Structure 1
């Protein structure tokens, strides 16, 4: 009768199967965690290769079919979308929560109790992390430098660029809702690394023969429309009245362009096409034209220069009315090497661009990912403060949860214990990647933190000794840790609740 599955095994088969899929996903990224983490090589069907230790890149590019495994990828996406850094930590935490939760369920604790306790544990852990937060005193704070270096994978040149750019853009801008510091990063294989005090527009000028000219003190026109005369219908055009109307609109358009020249317009940006005659007229007048600029670039240009986007009908307005819609830039010129237009000295919002140089296109992509992680971590630290890094803060919070667990009477306590166990996973994985025994080092650090009543102790990955991680400059942003834990808790709860997996039938719309 050995071929008949055990009742308990059959009962939890879906849960165990999902947990195995989650474990497989975690194993793909956990080896990249910490200062001794290594890279992963991703190979495509056509032989294309990506070498990275960026968690979200690995998960996004993996060939994943298992539905539970796909839920894990949602953790990384959420972390990347909301914070921009900490995707590997979020994935490792989610996997650990699933593993700890499954262990409790298999031993007989009801899933509902485990999930309820787990969610309580995550909430309590978040409160504990916030209470331990240290504030960034200024953009020159040494902790901010260390955060940039850690998130920048010890590449000091990238860290310096990011911190310099942060100082240039200012703390108020970094704290602004909706502003993503990481979006200002550009890596290019032909560029020299620099912080540009302005914006970079990803478009070649239509009149390239003017591209080498620098515009100083230029007015900027932003069009949410085509740069062309108002159209007359084909039916009207065949009539004399329609043709006369067409010629009249053309003449009005020429007059409008002349008015733009009088107002000192040096650059026109449009989200649509440009009429050939308009292109020639602008070229003759020395006006740089950027057609079909992306919506994001148009927004950046408007914000930085103070321009108010208009439709082409606004070109018929009087000079004072039209002047009120124009922006201003102290400098505008096309950079042929970057293939972008540089704009700076705007009278609108302050913006910076971080240009990261690289030797090859592949290296540029990887350095871009690294720089974006560093920028996201710096912005998160400015907004929410920082904590001891290297898994030290999580270890201290795990001890808080264990003490709370001892006072709980309901079965939800098993879920809280699962969170405490999962919080030790980041440190355990970091020391594994450094070549040490995780059980030994976890217990050693736990005892040291309890003895000195501090969360500032961690493990030195070079020596294996307990050290003061704050003095060593090993720190992480609070918001990165908190969002990682919250996202991990949500997905772990979803995985644990799955009792049955059923394949949906194909609908007629899908055929």
Structure 2
């Protein structure tokens, strides 16, 4: 017991701690190795193979990390940072992973030299905060949707697929700047894909689902829209009364009330009913006879999109008991509702609410169309991020310039925390080194060459042309990245790396404890 107390009270610089840091760093390094080869314009793809022989070929970082097998807890923490990056800005997951792995590796090196882990962690936090502040100062804002930099950003994030870049910008123009910068809206959600479909952008929504009955109209124009976040079924009597005379009488009354609700829908000339839950056969039959298009099993997220686009309110079933005038004020409107049968989608266009757009991406096969969908989502996320925060030089140029700034900042830091700051400076050189290595050049040679020229010219935009290997201005080449993508990648990498470095040892929980916590 006394030995255990000494073990957990150690300063974090003993042999046990160094072994733990090295094991954690190795686990993180293995995760980063799976995705770093995809970084940059010359990055390659990764083939993921499942037990059932499922095959996915992609260079999308979050897809690779999400699908690959992970054993070590520290590795899972890195995967979580990729998911957080994807949820926050929709792109930059590979950069975030590479930075996090580099910070863990450099931090572990400092601990191995005898620097107390607490000092390393504090230094990393200070270095990251300083780098984030300097990063914001270097950004170029974008104010208009017709800014030529948006096309370059879409082209770069879209893996240099010109058709995808054009689709994204067309959709952005339909939606408008105000909605694009609004909190909670994600242009990437507007992307759908289908094999053999033609690329297209159209005003409105395209949501998974089909009309309830084949005899319901395929197309309705100029229709009122009812959005029901509930089941469209009659209320049922309490089980304790079921089968009794009173219960049967009560149920008859509830069924009659349900018929009146349905009749109210028909009399209100509602043309489209979107239901979150189930639809009773009686409702299906009456709505079909009245030529109403009804869709069931619509997700809550899609219900919200329909409501926003058409100007409708999401209602509970009880709202159908209101007067016709009250109900009318809660309905939405759209110019067209179309069941695209070959895609299994309902298309809603010309809504009376907020403008929406749908980006339809096509390809020859299921495997290719899935990858093109992911690429298009990345491009849409990058365009939106650039509008919100501006852009910076890409290709690792900004990170390398920040590394130089952090090195200068380190000279002002007193005590052993400066070793943690040094870890940040070293880690910030990793993105360019990896991009250059993926292009087939010597990363050490090229990074040092760019560092020297950046210092000589006092530039933060110089990088490496991955075709020629020459040092050139990334902004002049059109190689730029949105500020929010880079900012969140470094911020998240700093958070997860310090969390991993704080881990002194890994202890497996008892099965009973894990079950209890679940």
Question: Could you say whether these structures have the same fold, taking a TM-score greater than 0.5 normalized by the shorter chain as the test?
Answer: yes
Which residue in 2 is equivalent to 1:383? 388
Which residue in 2 is equivalent to 1:489? 494
Cα contact 2:217–2:291 (8 A) shared by 1: no
Which residue in 2 is equivalent to 1:191? 197
Residue 416 (structure 2) pairs with residue 398 (structure 1): no
Which whole-Å deviations, capped at 9, do the CAs of 1:391-450 have from their partners, x for residues lacking one? 111111111111122233321111111111110100000000001111111111111111
Which whole-Å deviations, capped at 9, do the CAs of 1:217-237 have from their partners, x for residues lacking one? 100111222223333456656
Q: Distance in 1 between matches of 2:388 and 2:514?
A: 46
For structure 1, the 5+ residue unaligned runs are 1-6
Which whole-Å deviations, capped at 9, do the CAs of 1:289-327 have from their partners, x for residues lacking one? 112211111111111111112222332322211111111
Which residue in 2 is equivalent to 1:169? 175
- Which of 329, 334, 342 is the matching residue for 2:334? 329
Which residue in 2 is equivalent to 1:456? 461
How many pairs align?
Answer: 504
How far the C-alpha of 1:505 sits from its partner, in A, is: 2.4
Residue 512 (structure 2) pairs with residue 507 (structure 1): yes
Q: Distance in 1 between matches of 2:268 and 2:479?
A: 54
Cα gap change, 1:292/1:408 in structure 2, threshold over 3 Å: closer, same or farther?
closer
Q: Distance in 1 between matches of 2:236 and 2:265?
A: 21
Residue 103 (structure 2) pairs with residue 120 (structure 1): no
Which residue in 2 is equivalent to 1:273? 278
For structure 2, the 5+ residue unaligned runs are 1-12
Q: Distance in 1 between matches of 2:108 and 2:514?
A: 38
How far the C-alpha of 1:502 sits from its partner, in A, is: 2.0
Cα gap change, 1:39/1:312 in structure 2, threshold over 3 Å: closer, same or farther?
same
How far the C-alpha of 1:243 sits from its partner, in A, is: 4.5
Which residue in 1 is equivalent to 2:86? 80
Which residue in 2 is equivalent to 1:470? 475
Which residue in 2 is equivalent to 1:135? 141
Moved more, 266-275 or 428-437: 266-275
Q: Distance in 1 between matches of 2:81 and 2:513?
A: 32
Which residue in 2 is equivalent to 1:4? none
How far the C-alpha of 1:254 sits from its partner, in A, is: 3.4
Q: Distance in 2 between matches of 1:250 and 1:15?
A: 67
- Which of 129, 146, 150 is the matching residue for 2:152? 146
Residue 438 (structure 2) pairs with residue 433 (structure 1): yes
Alignment root-mean-square deviation, CA? 1.9
Which residue in 1 is equivalent to 2:55? 49
Cα contact 1:117–1:416 (8 A) shared by 2: yes
Which whole-Å deviations, capped at 9, do the CAs of 1:231-263 have from their partners, x for residues lacking one? 345665656665555444444443443333332
Which whole-Å deviations, capped at 9, do the CAs of 1:50-70 have from their partners, x for residues lacking one? 101111111111111012211
Cα contact 1:190–1:338 (8 A) shared by 2: no
Cα contact 2:229–2:300 (8 A) shared by 1: no
Cα gap change, 1:24/1:230 in structure 2, threshold over 3 Å: closer, same or farther?
closer
Which residue in 2 is equivalent to 1:180? 186
Cα contact 2:187–2:381 (8 A) shared by 1: yes
Which residue in 1 is equivalent to 2:68? 62
Q: Distance in 2 between matches of 1:510 and 1:319?
A: 52
Q: Distance in 1 between matches of 2:16 and 2:240?
A: 74
Moved more, 106-115 or 23-32: 106-115
Q: Distance in 2 between matches of 1:232 and 1:316?
A: 18
Q: Distance in 2 between matches of 1:467 and 1:335?
A: 49
Which whole-Å deviations, capped at 9, do the CAs of 1:336-389 have from their partners, x for residues lacking one? 121011001111111111111121111121111111111111111111110011
Cα contact 1:190–1:337 (8 A) shared by 2: no
- Which of 40, 44, 49 is the matching residue for 2:46? 40
Cα gap change, 1:505/1:244 in structure 2, threshold over 3 Å: closer, same or farther?
closer
Which residue in 1 is equivalent to 2:379? 374
Cα gap change, 1:459/1:226 in structure 2, threshold over 3 Å: closer, same or farther?
same
Give the secondary structure class of the aligned counterpart of 2:392: strand
Q: Distance in 1 between matches of 2:90 and 2:513?
A: 39
Which whole-Å deviations, capped at 9, do the CAs of 1:99-136 have from their partners, x for residues lacking one? 11122221222211111111000000000000001001
Cα gap change, 1:319/1:415 in structure 2, threshold over 3 Å: closer, same or farther?
same
Give the secondary structure class of the aligned counterpart of 1:222: strand
Q: Distance in 2 between matches of 1:413 and 1:99?
A: 16
Q: Distance in 2 between matches of 1:326 and 1:15?
A: 59
Q: Distance in 2 between matches of 1:409 and 1:234?
A: 74
Which residue in 1 is equivalent to 2:227? 222
Cα contact 1:377–1:480 (8 A) shared by 2: yes
Q: Distance in 2 between matches of 1:126 and 1:509?
A: 38
Residue 351 (structure 2) pairs with residue 354 (structure 1): no
Q: Distance in 2 between matches of 1:295 and 1:377?
A: 26
Which residue in 2 is equivalent to 1:3? none
Which residue in 1 is equivalent to 2:21? 15
Q: Distance in 2 between matches of 1:93 and 1:11?
A: 22
